Structure 1
Amino acid sequence: MKIRRPSLESRSSVCSFISRDKSTKPVFSVLWSIYPKLLVAIAVMSIGFVAFFLCRHWAYQTELFRVCQVLITGNDRVTEEEILQLSNVTAQDNLLSLDLESIAKSIEGHPWVHSVEVKKKLPDHLMITLKEHTPVAILNSDKMYLIDEQGEIIDRLSIEESVSLPIITGIDPKNIIDNNLTRSHNNRIQKALELISMASKGTRTLGVNNISQIDIAEKDTLILVTSYGSIPFYFDYENLGVQFSRAEKVLYQLYRSGTYKKAVKVELDYGPGKALVSLKH
C-alpha cells in the first residue's frame, strides 16, 4: 500500500503556521509584563495625590500664610474701616483660603464703590484696589441725591455736605424707587448729563462751573440756567452738541456786549442755525 505524501505546498503552509504559532506569546505572559508598569503608575499617582493634600493641609494651617496686612488703595469717600468690615477678613484668616470673588462682591455692595480688584500677595498680604463713583450732578427731587455720569443715584446728599455741582430738577419722586430711577427718567437725565459732559471739556464760555441748574421740562425740553447772570437756555433733545456750540457763541456775545444782565431767555431750538434771545426793555 502506497503512502501518499503531502504536497510541497501543504507542507510549507503547515510549517509556516507552526512557526507563527511559536512566535506568538501567551496572553498571560503579555498581561504579566503590563501589570507591573500599571501598578507602578497607580502607586506614583496615589503618592502624588497624598502629597498634594498633605501640602495643601499644611499650607492652610501654617502661620506663614496668615493675613498680616490688608493694603487698601483708591478709597476717598469709603473709609478703610468700612472696607475691612465688608470684606470680613481678619488676622486669623489664611491668605490661601480666601475667596477673592466673594470679598470683591461684598465690598461692591457699598453705594460709593463702583468696582473692586482684590489680589493676594504672598506670603501674607491682601491687596484691595477700589474705584469709587464720581458724582457729576445733584438730583433735586423730594430729597437731594448725588448721581454719577451714568445717571445712577450714588447716595443721598446730607445737609452737612457742601458740594459745588450742577443741580438737575424736574424728576417726580414717584419715579425714584429704592434709590433707583425708572428707565424712562434715567434716559431723560442722560440728556442733561450730556450737557454737563460737554461743559466739562476744556476751558469754555459755558463751562461746568457756569451751570447752576438744568431743569428737565415737558415736551422734551431742557432748561439750562447759568451761574453768572442766571440766563435760561432752552434746549431740545435733538442735536445737543450743535445747540451747545450755539449757546456758547450767544453767551460770549452777551458777555462781550454787556447785555447778559438784560437777557430773559435764549431759545436754541428757534430754527435751523438760529437762536432767539429775549431781552428786558
Structure 2
Amino acid sequence: MKKNIYYNNYAFFITLTIILTIFIKLSFWWNQLNKKMLLEKILLSETYIIDKEKYYDLLKEFIGTNMHTVNIDNMTKIIEEHPYIKTTRISKWYPSTVKIEIIERDPIALLNITPMVLIDSDGYVMPDIESKKNLNLPIMTNFNSDISLYPFGKKVLSINVEKSALWLNKIKNGFPSLYENISEMKMTSDNNINMILSDYPTHIYLGQKNIWPKIKILKKFENELFPKKLSNFSYLDMRYKNQIIAMNRKI
C-alpha cells in the first residue's frame, strides 16, 4: 500500500515537473515572440486627392511599437483629424503590419474667400492644398467671407453655403453635364442664386426658392432643346414660377 502511494506521488511529481517545464518554455517563447512582434509596415489604400504619403507621415511614429500595444482607436483619431479624410478602416495583420483603408472627402466646389477653401458634398470644409489631380470645380462667390464660418475638417457654418453645396452635389449626381459646365455659383446681395456656365458664358438666374425643382425643369428644357444646348442662350431666367425666360445669344 505504501509502495503504491510512493509511486503515485512520484508520478504526480514528475507530471507536475513536466507541466511546469512546458509552461516556462512556452512563457519564454511567447515573451520572445512578443519582442519580435513589432509594427514594421503601415499599408494605406490608394488615394485620389492627397498623396497617401501625406497620410502616412501622420502615423509613422507608430513604427517600432509592439503590435499588442498599437492602439487602433488612437490611430483612427489621428488620421481622421485630417480635413480630407472622411472615414477610415484600420486593422492589424500579425505579426508586423497595419492596413488602413482610406475614404477621402469629395470636393464639390471652391469657395472664393481669403484664403480659398474647398467644400465637399456633405458640406465639410477642406483647405485648398496641392492635390494629386486637377480639380476642375465650380467657384462659389459672394457668400459670407467670415473665415470663422469655415473650420477645417468641420461642417460649414454658413447655411447658404451648406445649401449650395447640397444643390451642387444633387446636380453632379442627377445632371452631370450641367455640373461639369458650371463655372460659378453666385449669391446676389438679395440672396438670389445665379449660375454662370463655362460655355460662352450663359447666365442662369434661379432665384431664392425651389432651386432643385428648377434644376429638374432646366434638365427637361435642355432635353427638349436637343440638338441645341443651354449655351445657345445668353441667359435663362427661372425666377418666376413654372416658366423660363430665355434670351437667344446674338451671333
Q: Taking structure 2 as the reference length, what is the TM-score of the superposition?
A: 0.73
Q: 1:48 maps to which residue?
A: none
2:138 touches 2:183 (CA, 8 Å); kept in 1?
yes
1:274 aligns with 2:243: yes
Q: Deviations over 1:180-212 (max 9, x none)?
A: 589652x212332233223323666x5211111
Q: Distance in 2 between matches of 1:160 and 1:119?
A: 26
Q: Distance in 1 between matches of 2:102 and 2:151?
A: 22
Q: Which amino acid counterpart does residue 186 of structure 2 have in structure 1?
A: D
Structure 1 pair 239/66, CA: closer, same or farther in 2 (3 Å)? same
Structure 1 pair 71/225, CA: closer, same or farther in 2 (3 Å)? same
Q: How many residues align?
A: 224
Q: 1:209 maps to which residue?
A: 180
1:138 aligns with 2:110: yes
Structure of larger gyration radius: 1
Q: Distance in 2 between matches of 1:129 and 1:201?
A: 24
Q: Distance in 2 between matches of 1:245 and 1:170?
A: 25
Aligned to 1:265, which of 207, 212, 235? 235
More relative contact order, 1 or 2 (CA 8 Å, 6+ apart): 2
1:189 touches 1:216 (CA, 8 Å); kept in 2?
no
Structure 1 pair 183/164, CA: closer, same or farther in 2 (3 Å)? closer
Aligned to 2:167, which of 195, 205, 213? 195
What 5-or-longer segments of structure 1 have no aligned partner? Answer: 1-50
Q: Distance in 1 between matches of 2:224 and 2:173?
A: 21
Q: Distance in 2 between matches of 1:239 and 1:177?
A: 25
1:258 CA drift (Å): 7.6
Structure 1 pair 57/197, CA: closer, same or farther in 2 (3 Å)? same
1:74 touches 1:131 (CA, 8 Å); kept in 2?
no
1:170 touches 1:217 (CA, 8 Å); kept in 2?
yes
1:157 CA drift (Å): 4.5
What 5-or-longer segments of structure 2 have no aligned partner? Answer: 1-22
* Secondary structure class of the residue paired with 1:111: coil
Structure 1 pair 217/138, CA: closer, same or farther in 2 (3 Å)? same
1:109 CA drift (Å): 2.2
1:279 CA drift (Å): 4.4
1:175 touches 1:182 (CA, 8 Å); kept in 2?
no
Identity across the alignment (%): 17
Q: Which amino acid counterpart does residue 247 of structure 2 have in structure 1?
A: S
Structure 1 pair 60/213, CA: closer, same or farther in 2 (3 Å)? farther
Q: Which amino acid counterpart does residue 239 of structure 2 have in structure 1?
A: D
1:254 touches 1:260 (CA, 8 Å); kept in 2?
no
1:103 aligns with 2:75: yes
Q: 2:206 maps to which residue?
A: 235
Q: What are the residue-to-residue correspondences of 1:79-228 with 2, within 5 Å?
A: 79-87=51-59, 88-90=61-63, 92-157=64-129, 162-176=134-148, 179-180=151-152, 185=158, 187-201=159-173, 206-228=177-199
Q: Taking structure 1 as the reference length, what is the TM-score of the superposition?
A: 0.66
* Secondary structure class of the residue paired with 1:245: helix
Q: Deviations over 1:116-144 (max 9, x none)?
A: 22211122221122111111111112233
Q: Distance in 2 between matches of 1:259 and 1:177?
A: 34
Q: Distance in 2 between matches of 1:104 and 1:210?
A: 37
1:256 CA drift (Å): 4.5
1:94 CA drift (Å): 0.8
